[in-house]
Amino acid sequence: MTPEQAAHETRDAILAVGGGFMSAPETYTEGSALGFEGIDFYVAGRGGVLGDAPADVVAAAFVFFAPSVVATSWERSAAVMPRRRAAEAFAECAHAWARAHLHDEADQTRLAALLERVVSSAPVAAAPLFAGWRLLSEPADVRALIVHRLNALRELRGALHGAAVITVGLTPLEALAVRSPHRIPVAGWTDKVPDTESLRDRWSLAEARTDRVFGRHLARLDEGERDDLVTLLKALAP
């Protein structure tokens, strides 16, 4: 399978498994126990890898969230704990989710090794959250390690997709309206939701560009390794 095909075939698993912990009830329970409210743990946990950056910088990295919502949560979360610690606590939730939800059917050691090859070699250009997450300490447990590395790839792919969306002339809100309209309120957008019929071709172009660019990172693996990566990730996906 070509790198571009592998990029397309791994998309759903990277999003669902790599980011599964983010919407899990137990993550919100932990965030509340730590003193966060609403989506503040999500914002502080993801954005915390950027350190004490201004809210606008964090909003720029999030791309698909309304900047005002990011700014409110970012500023409010500052009193709870240092930014780096918030990122570490968020990663700990990812690891706990992995231990609770990943089954043992897949060759986890093989998958973790393939993911490491991609994560360690990918350039960080235009992907600040990926760059920051990659600097966090990796867990020893192989299930946690898989989700940790998958979330790194989710941040990488997300950054590339955000750039692709902008370059085809879509706004973040328009892209959400086409692909994930249910996320619009969660992302904090209060603008009128646009009609999507005239936007679908541009969104498809953005998705194709994302696969093309993300595929370049998967070219680090040979064809057989890419086949294994796709197979192993599909075995994990819900």
SS3 letters across 87-133: HHHHHHHHHHHHHHHCCCCCCHHHHHHHHHHHHHHCCCCCCHHHHHH
> What confidence score (pLDDT) does residue 238 get?
66
CA distance 155 to 68: 21
pTM value > 0.85: yes
> What confidence score (pLDDT) does residue 20 get?
97
> What confidence score (pLDDT) does residue 105 get?
67
Domain ranges of the chain: 3-19+90-236
> What confidence score (pLDDT) does residue 157 get?
98
Q: Which residues of the chain have pLDDT under 50?
A: none
Position 27: which residue type? T
